[in-house]
């Protein structure tokens, strides 16, 4: 399946019908998180996945289609917390935002009911 593109890159991430818009990089939040990380890495790691920070930025754009696909905000926050390491790399400029946001979108896509089947090659697949 091809993804629609613009001159700046993909406009959506689509897998099995779930469409998640590309979210603009939250540059101010990134700089604030990095400033905290320089003083207290543990505090920055906690802030990275809090519901009122980066999660709120993403949920604002992705919440409705995720809920329509059967992914609750609680599930979204769980996936985001599991993705913390990749987001940490983004804070330190080791990963571009596009890599992180598209990777997170892919993980969320795999949480949809369409993907809730036993893995191929396992005892049930």
pLDDT in tens, the chain (125 residues): 444 433 344 444 444 568 899 999 999 999 999 999 999 999 999 898 899 989 999 999 999 999 999 999 999 999 999 999 999 999 999 999 999 999 999 999 998 876 654 443 433 34
Domain range list for the chain: 18-109
Q: What is the pLDDT of residue 31?
A: 96
Q: What is the pLDDT of residue 102?
A: 94
Q: What is the pLDDT of residue 76?
A: 96
Q: What is the pLDDT of residue 117?
A: 45
For residue 13 the two structure tokens come to 């991430």
Q: What is the pLDDT of residue 113?
A: 78
Contacts of residue 118, defined as CB under 8 A and 6 or more positions apart, other chains included, come to: 124, 125
Beta bridge pairs of residue 18: 15
């Amino acid at each position: 399946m091809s993804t629609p593109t613009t001159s700046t890159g993909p406009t959506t991430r689509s897998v099995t019908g779930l469409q998640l818009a590309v979210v603009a990089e939250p540059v101010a939040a990134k700089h604030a998180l990095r400033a905290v990380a320089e003083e207290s890495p543990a505090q920055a790691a906690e802030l990275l996945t809090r519901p009122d920070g980066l999660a709120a930025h993403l949920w604002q754009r992705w919440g409705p289609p995720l809920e329509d696909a059967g992914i609750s905000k609680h599930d979204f926050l769980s996936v985001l917390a599991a993705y913390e390491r990749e987001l940490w790399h983004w804070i330190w400029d080791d990963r571009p935002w596009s890599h992180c946001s598209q990777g997170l979108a892919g993980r969320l896509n795999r949480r949809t009911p369409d993907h809730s089947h036993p893995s191929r090659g396992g005892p049930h697949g």
